Structure 1
C-alpha cells in the first residue's frame, strides 16, 4: 500500500512539472521560451541554465526576515524575455531572494514573451496572458493579493531588489520605473480613445516627464505590434513632439500611420525623418512605397 501511495505522488509530481514548454527561434537561430513555464526549465535547459544558474548562485545570500511572512499570501506574475539582458540579470536574483526568504516557488508564475523576431508579436505571449496588464518592459514583476495587483517592479529595481520587495511586503512600495509609460498604459486600459483625445493636451504635458525618447517609444511599439494602432499613434505623435530632433520618433509615427492607411500623414513624417537624417534608408524605402500607392 505504501509503495502505491509513493508511486501516485511521483506520477502527480511528474504531471505538474510536465507542463508543455513553448518555444520560438530568434532571427539568429537561438531557441527561446514563449508562454507560461516552470522555473525549473531555466535551471535545467542548456539554452538558459548558464545565465540563470550563474546569476542565481553569484547573488549574495539573503537572511530570512520577519517581514517575509507578509508575502505568504502574495502571488507574483513574472513577465520576462529569455532573450532580454535585464531578464537574465534580475529574474534569477529575484528567485534567489524568494528562496532565501523561505517563500514558496508555487507563488511565482513565469510568462515568457516574444522578441521582435515574429511579426506582430513583440512582447506578447502565445496565449495572451500579458493583455490588459500594461506590460511594456521586461522583466515586469506583478505582485498580487487575492488576484488584485498591489505593486510591481518594472525592468530594474527602484532601490535594491531586496529593498523593493521589503517595501512591497510592508505596504509602501516604490513607484516602478517608467512612470509616464506606466501612466499611459493604465489610462489606455481604463479609457476609450475618444476620452483620450478630449484630454490630449493633458497627456502631452504629462509626457514631458519622460526620462528619454525610448520610454514612450517602447510602449508605442507594443501597441503597434498588437494591432492597437490608434493608441500607438497617440503615443508616437506625442513622443515626436517632445523629442522633435529625434528621427526615430517620426519614423515610428510614420510606420504606425502607414499601417493605419493614413498615407499622406505617413509621407509627411518620413520626410521629417530625412530632414534630420538624410541617410535613413528605412525612411527612403517607406517614402518610395507610399508614393507608388
Structure 2
C-alpha cells in the first residue's frame, strides 16, 4: 500500500511540475549531459564526478558566510549551467558550497542545465532561459521581490562569497561582459535600423570595455542559434568593426550571412577571413561551399 502511495505521489509531482528533475541526455558526440531542471542529486551520477571534487576542494570564507546567512534568504536565485562546460564544472560546485553553508532555502533556488548542440545552443528543453539573455554559462541571476537585481556571469569578479555579499548589500554590481549586457538592452529598445545608424559610434565606444572579440562572437552565436537572425547579423557586423584584424570575427559573420542565404556577402566575409588567416581549413572549405551555392 505504501509503495502504491509513493508511486502516486511521484506521478502527481511530475504532472504538477511539468517536467522531471535531473534528466540525463547525450550531446552530439554521445557524451552524457544533464538537461533542464536539476538539483544537487544530479551530480551523484558517476558521469559528473567533477562536482564532488570541486565542491570538496573549495574553501569558503567563514566570516563572509556568517554575514550572508540572514540577508540571502530574502532572494531567489536562478542558475543556468552546462554539465559539458568547463566554466560550469569549475564554478557551479563553488556556488553550491557557498549557498549550502548559508543554509539557503533550496525552494528559492532554480538550477537549469542547458544544451550544447547547435540547434539548441545554451537552451533548456522547457525554455526557462528565454528572455533572460543567457549567452554564457554558468549564469547566476539574483531576484528580490520577483525583480532581477544582479547576475554573476561565467565566474565571480572576486569569489562567490564576496560577490554575493556585494549584491545582497544593495551595492552596485556589474557582471562580466558588460558590453553584451548593454547591447542586449539596446536591441530590446531600438530597431536594427536605428542601431545601424549608430554602428560606428557604438563600435568606438564599446571597444574600450569589451573583453575581446569572443565576447560579442559568443553573444552573436546565441542569437543565431535561437533564430534571431537579424540581430545576430548586426552583432557580428559590429564585431568586425571593433576587431577588423581578427579572422574569427569575419568567419562568424560569414557563417551568419550563409545561414541567411546571403551568399555574396558570406563569400566576401570569408575572403576577408582568409586574408587574415590563410591556413584555416574551415574558412577554405566554406569558401568552396559558398561558391557552389552561388553557381547553382
TM-score if structure 2 supplies the norm length?
Answer: 0.88
Q: Secondary structure at the match of 2:157?
A: coil
Give the whole-Å Cα distance in 2 for the aligned partners of 1:80 and 1:275: 37
Is 1:204 the counterpart of 2:181? The answer is no
Partners of 2:91 and 2:13 lie apart in 1 by 25
Backbone CA RMSD of aligned residues: 2.4
Match for residue 98 of structure 2?
A: 97
Following superposition of structure 1 onto structure 2, how do residues 269-280 of structure 1 map, counting pairs within 5 Å?
269-280=269-280
TM-score normalised per structure 1: 0.89
Q: Between 275-284 and 86-95, report the one with greater CA deviation.
A: 275-284
Distance in 2 separating the partners of 1:23 and 1:198: 46
Whether the 8 Å contact between 1:67 and 1:170 is mirrored in structure 2 is no
Task: Tell me what 1:83 maps to.
Answer: 84
Give distance in 1, aligned partners of 2:148 and 2:203.
27
| Matched position secondary structure for 2:273 | helix
Aligned residues of 2:217 and 2:236 also touching (Cα < 8 A): yes
Aligned CA distance change for structure 1 residues 38 and 11 (closer, same or farther; 3 Å): farther
Q: May I ask how many residue pairs the two structures share in their alignment?
A: 285
**Higher relative helix content:** 2
> C-alpha offsets along residues 14-59 of structure 1, whole Å, 9 cap, x if unaligned?
97599344333224321001112222212x21211x1111111222
The runs of 5 or more residues in structure 1 that have no matched partner are none
Which ranges of structure 2 fall in alignment gaps of 5 or more residues?
Answer: none
* Pairing 1:264–2:264 present: yes
Deviations, residues 182-226 of structure 1 (Å, cap 9, x unaligned):
211222233332332243233222321212111111001111111
> Matches of 2:10 and 2:290 in 1, distance apart?
57
- The whole-number CA distance in structure 2 between the counterparts of 1:286 and 1:185 is 29
Q: Alpha-carbon deviation of 1:177?
A: 0.5
Matches within 5 A, 1:173-188: 173-188=172-187
Query: How far apart, in 2, do the equivalents of 1:92 and 1:217 lie?
Result: 27
- CA shift for structure 1 position 173: 4.2
Matches of 2:228 and 2:183, distance apart in 1:
14
Q: d(CA) in 2 for partners of 1:61 and 1:12? A: 38
Q: What is the distance in 2 between the residues matched to 1:247 and 1:289?
A: 18
Pairing 1:1-293 to 2, within 5 Å after superposition: 19-42=20-43, 44-48=44-48, 50-63=49-62, 64-115=65-116, 118-208=117-207, 209-293=209-293
